[in-house]
């Protein structure tokens, strides 16, 4: 009987499910699709390269076990990575699976500055095709820059935005936007050549050209480009020869109606170590800044990233992350990946406790700023009572519950000792704090409404500290 790839993979999943937790199974195995079976080689399709690398690094043994249980000792996996162009495949090179996993077939990246005789040169744009306008979430923080980028992409070299200078702090999406413009132009204008280059790479190529007496070849090559994207131009500071050559290229391109897109960590007027004539050229077009995204934009960015990666985490955890990571989109994405990794490796559920542990490695404000007093203030405000009531001797039930809940949160969210916590509530001893914490936990286990209240207050603590 000829086996079907879907039948084989379904049986493999039965073995895998028995060896990983529910969250890991949902995150790393449910998105996989079987696409072919050739003898003893099962081909599976995964969403992206990150997904493939994670499976090979963390689950290769389990995959080997499950595949061989269905296809025999010579059974093996071949990977197919799903890209927009459907052009990349990563296979195991027809080798039986072993501890080293599969081998990636690499495409050669051509150096655009190797110029054979300066005939019609096909330029490798050096763009990252995952950076598009569709994945660049718009907010008040980036609306001007994004709108200008779209205008440039629709009419490269034909708007007043030439050059388009995009500036902002690290991790706010300058590179993403620059690539998005280039990718859109590549999509809409087949005849136009686009080139992305970092200022560091540009400098190194100039050094190499000087060493080989090939400056003219380098300049000639750049004049072939219709859209030039230079990233992090602030690193050209104090490099006199590099600035001179860039100035010449800049003038040639702009005078020829070509488009320039530049990024920087500061506006042109603040670029120290840059020639005045070059700064003057940078001011010719539009300078658009990127600021830190607001909460709603951060949430939208994170949800977009989750959708791209095929990830799902609870809404309250998403909000918690976004309240505590405010100024750097790159950190936001790093926290997300770290949380998923920790949950998978340690077989833990993705919740606020796990998010807090991960975030503390990125920022220090959470553990340092959570205090017993801030918790008391929030709880008192939630129950609409004076904070002094939490320290009183009264046995009124509503006040007792609020006091016990405050102690519970203080023990969970601060590094204070039981004795120190008790002292903040009218000089109560550590045994009272323990009793209060147990009482709150028991009530959470039996009362869903009360549990929701506790979780909401816990989230409010983090939100208030991040605001």
Residue 131 lies in a domain: no
Tokens describing residue 215 = 């400056």
Three-class DSSP labels, 395-442 = CCHHHHHHHHHHHHHHHHHCCCCHHHHHHCCCCCCHHHHHHHHHHHHH
Structural domains counted in the chain? 4
Residue 55 pLDDT exceeds 60: yes
- Domain shared by 38 and 79, yes or no: yes
* Among 363, 390, 419, residue at a domain's last position: 363
* Among 335, 363, 391, residue at a domain's last position: 363
- Domain shared by 356 and 376, yes or no: no
For residue 398, which phi and psi values (nearest 5 degrees)? -60, -40
Which DSSP state fits 104?
A: P
Per the model's pLDDT, the better-predicted residue between 354 and 113 turns out to be 354
- Domain shared by 393 and 310, yes or no: no
pLDDT tens-digit map of 386-422: 888 888 888 888 899 999 999 998 888 777 788 888 8
- Domain shared by 400 and 448, yes or no: yes
For residue 261, which phi and psi values (nearest 5 degrees)? -130, 120
Phi-psi region of 291 (alpha: psi -120 to 50; beta: other; left: phi over 0): beta
- Domain shared by 174 and 262, yes or no: yes
- Domain shared by 244 and 172, yes or no: yes
Residue ranges of alpha helices (H) inside 226-294 are 240-255, 276-282
Distance CA 80, CA 33 (A): 10
Burial 440-455 (b: 16+ CB within 10 A, else e): beebbeeeeeeeebbe
Instruction: Give the mean pLDDT of 241-256.
Output: 87
pLDDT tens-digit map of 66-105: 988 888 888 888 888 764 333 333 333 333 444 444 433 3
Residue 100 lies in a domain: no
Query: Can you tell me which residue has the tokens 């005849």?
Result: 191
- Domain shared by 385 and 400, yes or no: yes
- pLDDT value, residue 48: 64
- Domain shared by 155 and 285, yes or no: yes
Helix axes 295-309, 315-324, angle to 10 degrees: 130
Residue 25 lies in a domain: yes
Helix axes 315-324, 329-346, angle to 10 degrees: 130
- Domain shared by 339 and 387, yes or no: no
- pLDDT value, residue 297: 83
* Among 273, 290, 307, residue at a domain's last position: 290
- Domain shared by 158 and 248, yes or no: yes
- Domain shared by 187 and 259, yes or no: yes
- CATH number for position 343: 1.10.8.60
- pLDDT value, residue 150: 92
Range of the domain at 460: 368-466
């Amino acid at each position: 009987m000829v086996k079907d790839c879907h039948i084989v993979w379904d049986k493999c999943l039965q073995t895998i499910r028995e060896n990983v937790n529910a969250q890991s199974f949902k995150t790393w195995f449910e998105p996989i699709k079987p696409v072919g079976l050739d003898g003893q080689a099962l081909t599976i399709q995964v969403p992206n390269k990150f997904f493939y690398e994670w499976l090979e690094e963390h689950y290769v043994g389990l995959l080997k076990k499950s595949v061989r249980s269905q296809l025999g000792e010579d059974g093996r996996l071949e990977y197919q990575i799903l890209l927009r162009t459907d052009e990349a495949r990563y296979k195991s090179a027809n080798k039986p699976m072993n501890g080293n996993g599969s081998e990636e077939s690499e495409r050669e990246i051509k150096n655009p500055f190797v110029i054979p005789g300066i005939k019609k040169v096909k330029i490798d744009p050096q763009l990252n095709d995952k950076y598009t306008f569709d994945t660049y979430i718009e907010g008040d923080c980036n609306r001007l820059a994004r709108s200008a980028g779209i205008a440039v992409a629709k009419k490269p070299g034909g708007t007043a935005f030439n050059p388009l200078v995009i500036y902002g702090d690290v991790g706010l999406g300058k590179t993403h936007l620059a690539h998005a413009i280039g990718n859109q132009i590549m999509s809409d204008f087949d005849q136009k050549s686009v080139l992305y280059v970092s200022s560091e790479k540009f400098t190194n190529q100039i050094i190499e050209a000087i060493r080989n007496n090939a400056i003219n070849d380098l300049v000639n090559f750049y004049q072939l480009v219709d859209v030039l994207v230079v990233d992090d131009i602030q690193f050209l500071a104090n490099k006199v020869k590099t600035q001179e050559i860039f100035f010449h290229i800049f003038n040639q391109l702009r005078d020829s109606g070509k488009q320039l897109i530049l990024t920087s960590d500061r506006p042109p007027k603040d670029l120290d170590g840059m020639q005045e004539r070059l700064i003057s050229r940078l001011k010719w077009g539009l300078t658009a800044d990127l600021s830190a995204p607001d909460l709603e934009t951060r949430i939208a960015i994170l949800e977009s990233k989750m959708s791209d990666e095929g990830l799902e985490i609870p809404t309250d955890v998403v909000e918690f992350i976004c309240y505590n990571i405010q100024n750097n989109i790159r950190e936001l994405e790093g926290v997300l990946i770290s949380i998923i990794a920790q949950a998978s490796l340690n077989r833990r559920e993705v919740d606020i406790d796990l998010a807090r542990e991960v975030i503390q490695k990125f920022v220090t404000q959470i553990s340092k700023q959570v205090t017993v007093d801030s918790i008391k203030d929030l709880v008192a405000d939630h129950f609409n009572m004076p904070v002094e009531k939490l320290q009183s001797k009264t046995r009124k039930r509503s006040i007792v519950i609020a006091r016990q809940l405050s102690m519970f949160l203080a023990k969970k969210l601060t590094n204070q000792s039981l004795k120190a916590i008790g002292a903040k509530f009218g000089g109560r001893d550590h045994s009272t704090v323990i009793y209060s914490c147990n009482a709150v936990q028991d009530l959470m286990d039996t009362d869903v409404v009360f549990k929701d209240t506790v979780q909401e207050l816990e989230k409010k603590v983090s939100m208030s500290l991040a605001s």
